[in-house]
Structure 1
Amino acid sequence: MRRSRGPDPAASQDRCRRSPAPGNLPAELNRFVGREDELAALTGMVAAARLVTLTGMGGVGKTRLATRAGRALADRFRDGVWLIELSAVQEPHLLDHAVAESLALADHSGRPARETLCDDLADSELLLVLDGYEHLVAECAPLVAQLLRRAPGVRVLAAGRRPLGLPGERTYPLLPLPDPAAGELFADRAGCVVPDFTVDEANSAAVAELCHRLDGIPLALELAAGRLRALSVDQVLRRLDDRFRLLTGTDRDALPRHQTLRTAIGWSHELCTPQERLLWARLSVFAGQFDLEAAEYVCSGPDLPADELLEVLTELVAQSVVVREETRVGVRYRMLDTVRAYGADWLAALEDTARLRRRHRDWYVGLATWCELDWFGPRQDEVAARLDVELPNVRLALEHSLEVPEEAYLGQFLAGTLWFFWVGCGRLSEGRHWLERSLEMPADHQDARLKALWVTGYVAVLQGDPAGALLALEQCRAEAERAGNARAAAYAQHRLGCLALTGDDMPRAETLLRAALAAYREIGELNSNVLMAQIELAMAVAFGGDLAAAEELCAEVREVCADHGERWAQAYALYVLAYAAWTRGELAGARRLLTECLLINHAFHDLLGAVLAVELLALITLDEGDAPEAAVLQGAAARIWPSVGPPLFGSRYFNQPHALCERRARGELGDAGYEAAARRGRALDLDAAVARILGGLPRPRGGAGSRPPESSEPAVSPAANGGETAG
């Protein structure tokens, strides 16, 4: 590599090659923290490919990682590793000269700068670390392509917000630091500012929250650490709502774009087209992940047509403003909170926040409506997974509805429409929160209010709150009868039947549930709720001692579920059928039915259904001859119940099978043996308990006798436990 062009270029080249190892990488002034895995991956890619691009948002640490990788690879390049910093080059025609200057190359021949540059590097073996080129992509890409073609010993490690888009380019997206590494970086930089700073019991929670709020962005963490000259960690944390004003730095050696968080992100903003800036601002109304369809609905308009939005979004992904992620429900996108906050400021400046939040809310009301319809069908798994990832946006939509009094009815409708998510996917407590908040708001839309009322009563029944359930359901029934709303009246009657079931009033439960089923048939209602009414009727019948009738009712439910692809209600029908199999001494059949039941409930995160399946499996395990394992399962169930409600609803009928299992297990093991086994069970979370059940060793056959509960007790079906819980 020639450093100058004078009368004797060959002599000059010889002198250059006899000099110490060339290169211009800056010395590191502080410790390299938390990127060891990324460093290893990046150096491996550079060793294998001639063009590697490290992409990521502003402030994520691209420059530091790229230069560190260059230093690690320096011994592999005869002519060194050279940092080409281009952020200060504003005129495209100066690009070639800036690269030559960074390489300490001089030319006075009058030839085009690029020709000279390619000639000088033709026989070189070096690594170019190209940094800060985002605003010159159109000019940098052909330069890099030409250098790689004409200088086979040259490799390029580019670090920027977007790829160069060249053939053979390998990209490595750099994400923010995960929590442990983010905390380590913050502590290290804080120690430079406050020498005795340590993360201890007193401040660890605040440090963790600070790192989380700042998305693990290294620049943000370093700027926050700098504020410890005057503030405590708690004070910094309290001021993060205005993060862009708070997080400014005083490091005069830092690149201008890295001296404040706002400037670092603003640098990306300046490189965006007007449409890209507009979409950035509008996407800030999303919380967490979003998909393309949601973005097209919420963010499109005359100034950003829906059929053009994908192209604009793709550019924001390319510039590391938006992150593309593969998830279990398909491709989704998200913005880091800090990037989102920057866009929200711009949206507010455009005075368009309220309109975009309404569009966001309307999309998620529509999504919830579609999901409720699809819940009764073969896509239940997809619906559950979709709402699980959409929950941050659903919460935002609920919050917005309840902030605007004249739109509170939409909050009631949304909270009520999500009944299947609150009940079937293990979200009882959160559902109760939103339902009660929505009902506190005055609303003129009677249908939305009635739905929120019966769903509130439903949730309260499952939480073991009979007073709250009775209040909501009686209010719903009275208002529905006055309004002539037959559907709401049927649902209120159905849930009052559930309340009677958990309250040990079997005659009333059977009367109400039969009446609810008749009302459902009259209005043509058929969905998971209707199936659950039939299962709950089977519970009441079983508690009355007629297990054959209960089995027949659940067999009918199972047929309907098979026809429609419904699995959630089917799990509770399987539960009833498993108990019937147990009473006949068919332990293998009962276990098979319960295993399927448990798998379904666990997949939906239905804690109530899952824990009841575990309770019945404990009884079957005891009859298989394994009392210690039965006690372990009862201990596991005991750990789960507090997350659901009162164990077995405090019901004599529902509790009797559990009591039978415990009494017999204690009799075999003794109190000390039983308690020791139960303690082992209480150490298991639900995932571990399910894994233990599904992967356990074969049970001994026979055992203590396969029989239903003693005749001196109420004729109780553990199946009733499971069926009610869903209903």
Structure 2
Amino acid sequence: MPVSELQQRGGNLPAELTSFVDRRREISEARRVLSTARLVTLTGTGGVGKTRLALRVAGAVRRAFADGVWLAELAQVRDRTLVAHTVAQALRIHDIAGREPLGLLVDFLRDRQVLLVLDNCEHLVRECAGLADAVLREAAGLRILATSREILRVAGEQVLPVGPLPVPERNGSRPAGTRSPDTAVALFAERATAVVPAFAVSSENQEEVAGICRRLDGLPLAIELAAARLRALSAGQILARLDDRFALLTTGPRSVPARHQTLQATIDWSFRLCTPAEQALWARASVFAGSFGLPAAERICAGEDLPAESVFELLAGLVDKSILIHDNHRTGTRYRFLDTLRQYGQNKLRQAGQHARLRRRHAHWYLHLAEQGNRDWFGPNQATWLQRLRLEHANLRQALQFCLTTPGHAQTGLHLAAALRFYWFGCGLLAEGRHWIDRALAQDTAPSRARATALWIDAHIAVVQGDIPAATAMAHECSDWAQSRGDENVLAYAVFIRGAAARFSGDFQQAQVLLEDALARFEALGELNSTVIIAYVTLIGAAVFQGNLAHAVALGQHARALCEQHGDQWARAYTLYALTLAEWTRGEFAQASAHAQESLRVMHTFNDTFGIALLVERLAWIAEKAGECERAAVLFGTAHQIWPLVGGQPLFGSAHYLAAHEACEQQARRTLGDSAFEAAFRRGAELGFDQAIAHALGETPQPAPASPATATQPLAPLTRREQQVAELVAQGLFNKDIAARLVISRRTAEGHVERILTKLGFTKRTQLAAWVTEQRESRNS
């Protein structure tokens, strides 16, 4: 998936797939509370619509958050240590530097205006509360909207209970001053029309529909499940069956809330109306986390009682009954449960004594998938594999968690974590990859080829993260095992890791010896994959820093040819990046720029934020040396806004790298002057992600300096009040603070800010703040 589909400052809220019915009062109240409270938690029973309400509220306030509204879905997170990782990934922060994820989040959010939606916190309350408390203390511009069946109990938390939809009274009346009772009926009608287009609430069936809604206590999920039955039953028949079913219901402890009993009864009823085969598939498919595809369902869920060839039709039947939701992706149709329905299926699976068996099948299927992706990675299908594995992220996590928490499966987990090595690198998930491999190595400590392989992969991640001591220790353990067993393949990788560690420790001579040794071993073994190409890339850097530029270029051309021969794009892009270092050093700026832009296009396709940051930075160096200092300053500003998305400048923040960066930036500053440099830098930092990539690729004109009309004079005079508001914006105050300072309503303050931005031709508060500062300096000069 291209970066442009993900890296939007507006955030990552999903599109609504079904209509949203009413909830105007709840939306208004949530918006009001969110304007004053920094943590708002929507609570309520399962199926009451907390997530849909949160998403609707978040969409309604999007414009108030300059850096976007971001959704972190936590329902499928079962490893409590991955909460901060998951939130960082939702914010599109691909941590390369190996930092502690909570600290990374705090630093990223500290100076940003963001609304973070934490969805489904109830099973991770302690972790979510700790995260919310930590980031809210440090990030003044952050607001959090959480959904949870249990409150977080964080200081300053405002709790908004989410109740069911109002339903009509039996006599059709309602108490004075209460909301319209037609909301639940409207929801039933909306969902019924999707199932039976000719359906309409009429005088003949309105009391039956109202009775259904009353029987279901106005619970949205229960109403949707009932509406799906209109394919086979009339509204009257549905009501009669609900009455019969609920009359027979034994509710268990009186302490169980009535609405929970209602939802349980409704799902029980829906389950009983499924065919035995559909019931079996519902229970077995609940083993998936997130979404899943047909091949996985056929492999994992099929059995003697459920032939693989029947799975597709059964999935379609569950979709028709609103048990499953289907989404279309480039890699094929995906299916998913609402979390409440998945939990129900898991309970049925446990009751049948099949849960452990299905979890083992699930883990082995995803090991098979990872190994297949690992074999196929070095070829023309890399982008397809990355997209496929991204869609399976929740399932990969679940398979790893099962293996590393179930006795006897640690080595399967070790194989799986290691087999995903190109996924960890290609998706920028190095911190999570190392988390899983570290856990697996800690559990499966017996010397083996699987352990040795995992060691060099983990060491490779550690090198990229700049953790050279850990990488060196793991490489030596791997090497010792390989030498003791005569495993030349594993030994070649261990030598590569030792060479990479030497390269990024600044020992270029030793790095060259080791890397050339590793490459000779790979060639003798006939071993060729993306890691081998990265060994060439690493050797190119060592050669450049020793002044052997011709050799570096020859290595790059050879590695590039190998990639093109096999259709590899990802490693080819890094090869081109390495070539630009040699070409930049030799003064071949036109060639270096062409290679950097070619590489950047590939990195953009792969959504490789780390590679994008490296290449934008390199293009800034090239522009400065080519005498295009204003372009260089803009690109430095662009790189500055991208680096936080990968946790800052990681291993490439070595002495040589930082020295080159500093020299280029200082020269551009001297050439332009401080004021012009800062203005150009600011323009680059304010570019949207797509704009930034397009500019770096030379596909858009140089961002124009602010015109006199916007830099010095507004398009229309600011009133005295607007001038006051502008000054307060420049001081960093938000709209609610401005409203309090000037004793006006928040809405009035928002209106003032919007009119000021329009008059000045700006779109961001940061632009307004810079303009106010320039005006102040101009008056004082």
**What is the TM-score normalised by the length of structure 1?**
0.64
Structure 2 residue 546 is matched with structure 1 residue 544:
yes
Question: Residues of 2 paired with 1:341 and 1:584: CA distance?
Answer: 62
Structure 2 residue 456 is matched with structure 1 residue 454:
yes
Alignment correspondent of 2:676: 673
Pick closer, same or farther for the CA change 1:201–1:213 going to 2, 3 Å.
Answer: farther
Alignment correspondent of 2:636: 634
AA paired with 1:483? R
Question: Residues of 1 paired with 2:23 and 2:524: CA distance?
Answer: 62
- 1:207 deviation in Å? 2.4
2:517 to 494, 515, 521: 515
SS of alignment partner, residue 657 of structure 2: helix
SS of alignment partner, residue 331 of structure 1: strand
1:493 to 492, 495, 508: 495
1:153-552 to structure 2, matched below 5 A, reads 175=17, 186-187=26-27, 198-199=33-34, 201-202=36-37, 204-207=39-42, 216=51, 237-238=149-150, 254-258=213-217, 260-444=262-446, 446-552=448-554
AA paired with 1:460? A
AA paired with 1:611? A
Alignment correspondent of 2:221: none
Question: Residues of 1 paired with 2:587 and 2:601: CA distance?
Answer: 23
AA paired with 2:272? E
Question: Residues of 2 paired with 1:234 and 1:217: CA distance?
Answer: 12
- 1:387 deviation in Å? 0.8
1:616-655 to structure 2, matched below 5 A, reads 616-642=618-644, 643-647=646-650, 649-655=652-658
Taking only aligned residues, the RMSD between alpha carbons, in angstroms, comes to 3.5
- 1:412 deviation in Å? 1.2
- Note if contact 2:48-2:163 (Cα within 8 Å) is conserved in structure 1: no
**Larger of the two Rg values belongs to structure:** 1
Structure 2 residue 591 is matched with structure 1 residue 589:
yes
AA paired with 1:374? D
Pick closer, same or farther for the CA change 1:234–1:316 going to 2, 3 Å.
Answer: closer
Structure 2 residue 567 is matched with structure 1 residue 565:
yes
Tell which has more relative contact order, 1 or 2 (C-alpha 8 A, sep 6+): 2
SS of alignment partner, residue 338 of structure 1: helix
Identity %: 40
Q: What's the CA shift string for 1:285-314, capped at 9, x where partnerless? A: 111111100000010001101111112112
Runs (5+) with no aligned partner, structure 1: 1-172, 225-232, 241-245, 701-727
Q: What's the CA shift string for 1:127-184, capped at 9, x where partnerless? A: xxxxxxxxxxxxxxxxxxxxxxxxxxxxxxxxxxxxxxxxxxxxxx994678xx8986
SS of alignment partner, residue 304 of structure 1: coil
Structure 2 residue 598 is matched with structure 1 residue 602:
no
Question: Residues of 2 paired with 1:426 and 1:566: CA distance?
Answer: 18
Pick closer, same or farther for the CA change 1:510–1:444 going to 2, 3 Å.
Answer: same
Question: Residues of 1 paired with 2:686 and 2:54: CA distance?
Answer: 41
Question: Residues of 1 paired with 2:16 and 2:610: CA distance?
Answer: 41
AA paired with 2:694? A
- 1:389 deviation in Å? 0.9
Alignment correspondent of 1:229: none
AA paired with 1:594? A
- 1:530 deviation in Å? 1.1
SS of alignment partner, residue 278 of structure 2: helix
SS of alignment partner, residue 290 of structure 1: strand
AA paired with 2:215? P
Alignment correspondent of 1:656: 659
Pick closer, same or farther for the CA change 1:174–1:466 going to 2, 3 Å.
Answer: closer
Q: What's the CA shift string for 1:485-505, capped at 9, x where partnerless? A: 322221121012111111111
Pick closer, same or farther for the CA change 1:498–1:202 going to 2, 3 Å.
Answer: same
- Note if contact 2:447-2:481 (Cα within 8 Å) is conserved in structure 1: no
Q: What's the CA shift string for 1:210-267, capped at 9, x where partnerless? A: 999957368999xx9xxxxxxxx99962289xxxxx9999977633245632233333
- Note if contact 1:214-1:337 (Cα within 8 Å) is conserved in structure 2: no
Question: Residues of 1 paired with 2:610 and 2:655: CA distance?
Answer: 18
Question: Residues of 2 paired with 1:451 and 1:516: CA distance?
Answer: 15
Question: Residues of 2 paired with 1:681 and 1:321: CA distance?
Answer: 48
AA paired with 1:539? G
Question: Residues of 2 paired with 1:318 and 1:381: CA distance?
Answer: 33
SS of alignment partner, residue 408 of structure 2: helix
Runs (5+) with no aligned partner, structure 2: 1-14, 57-118, 120-144, 153-161, 171-212, 219-261, 704-781
**What is the TM-score normalised by the length of structure 2?**
0.59
Pick closer, same or farther for the CA change 1:587–1:357 going to 2, 3 Å.
Answer: same
Pick closer, same or farther for the CA change 1:499–1:216 going to 2, 3 Å.
Answer: same
- 1:580 deviation in Å? 4.2
Question: Residues of 1 paired with 2:39 and 2:320: CA distance?
Answer: 36
SS of alignment partner, residue 497 of structure 1: helix
- Note if contact 2:50-2:147 (Cα within 8 Å) is conserved in structure 1: no
SS of alignment partner, residue 206 of structure 1: strand
AA paired with 2:150? R
